[in-house]
Structure 1
Amino acid sequence: MSQSTQVRTPSPRRYLMCRPTYFDVTYSINPWMDPAKPVDSGLAVAQWERLRALYEELGYQIDLIDPLPGLPDMVYAANGATVVDGKVLGARFRNEERAAEGPAYLEWFRERGYQVTHNPVHVNEGEGDFLTTTSWLLAGKGFRSVPDGHAEAQELFGRPVVGLELVDPRFYHLDTALTVLDGDEIMYYPEAFSPGSRAVLQRLFPDAILVSEADAEVFGLNAVSDGFHVVLPEAATGVMEQLRERGFQPIGMDLSELLKGGGSVKCCTLEIRDRAA
């Protein structure tokens, strides 16, 4: 069966999210953040609520962590931890403005009885830079997370880690430049990566969807997939057609207010993988 006619089946998903009660842009730690641009906090909450409602309509289990005052970026739950096979690797942020988020997320898991939780020594920014396929843990570096953090993840999860060098500051986290669609199927924006990392991606994922700069710039790769439905920013129209050709069902969402902080669908979504795959 060719990829274009493949029948896709959605798989159950469990996500952790954080309401953007305190969302604002009061500092700049990525190219998308401009404190001079006003933030409509009510609109940010409304857009986030629509994303949460969509997830519930799709049958996903949604857990919530309480937002904390003084942490405007806590809405970007994907950065808070990485959970694989029921093991939790906490986040250690590069920027002081976000430092308190890591312990808050790790405590959420500990309070719910997770037995294997690791407070990291080295910088990693959760699923911002760690994306899980069936065979590998893909790990971004270059702007935030560091290779020593990749080694920490490999030791905890016992899964092979593939380090990928990001070179375009617009795509400072791996989840802005690459999406895991199903199993070992991915889509990515090639120019976000160094030549060597592009070669690795071509070798490991020869049938990947290659996404245009126009779709990457509107955060079309900051997406989540259940193996059939792919939730992504509604402005990424080109990649939507590519996904349909592969048998996926893209669902566009407007998270334009949260993009002012440098995040979109995936940034708001931390996947909880409780069982070994």
Structure 2
Amino acid sequence: KLVYFKKAIEDMATGSLRRVAIAYRTYEAEKVPENEEELSRWELSEEELVLLAIVWIKDPCQPDVRGGVELCQNAGVKVYMVIGDNLETARAIALECRILKSVEEAAESNLIEGAVFGALSDTEKEEIVEKISVMRSSPNDKLLLLQALKRRGHVVGVTGDGTNNALALREDQDDIGLAVGIKGTEVAKANSDIIILDDNFASVVKVSFSGRSVYANILKFIQFQLTVDVVTLIINVVSASSSGDVPLNIVQLLWVNVIMGTLSALALVTEPLTDQLMNRPLVG
């Protein structure tokens, strides 16, 4: 029976199912504390338990997660999954979410136990940190992963919802911390830079979209402003050199900059987001 149950548990793990064992044991009622304070500290011995059932729970990916992960990957943003479940469950969830695109990618080189990663030297961590995609770890191991990525020069964003993620979400540890607003604890929210109100991974993609849009609009505005200023300068210099007179005086130049600069800035800032932004290579 033990072999049968172990096989069933392993099969559940490979199917991205979380397992809950239900068991009971007999106990003398007189030995159970009646005082509430004592009862809160009392622990029932886990010996001599009788197994009733093993229940599996399916925690499916949200509909937008797979598309969001693929958008991030196409944009050059690597998504890491750091999870507390065992490695087989983590592998199955990563395949379902497309963090790992194929069974071949779900090889041992792309997955690692947090304890194994934590035991490596800093140099060894930096050598393998870009190869792995999935880690089963504790909050401390998550922090070590974050620090290794930063030492490699990466810009790192961290998502989290629990109090144990607060250290990784802190401003001095990551470049940007994202806490979930519905399930997230107040400690996680207080240590984050951005709060995702709908607890949806697709919103993380929107953050990246918005950042790239702002950067692209700034570049467009600078390009536009330089074009106007350089052309105006050339016209005035050439005219002054050839005829001794300038077509645009100081007041007219100021009006050109005020009117064109303001209107162009408004036009560029209000440009809608496009999918092409996520296909551009990373900057920095």
- TM-score calculated relative to the size of structure 2: 0.27
More helix by share: 2
- TM-score calculated relative to the size of structure 1: 0.28
Q: Which protein is bigger by CA-based radius of gyration? A: 2
More strand by share: 1
Instruction: For CA contacts below 8 A with separation 6 or more, give which structure has more relative contact order.
Output: 1
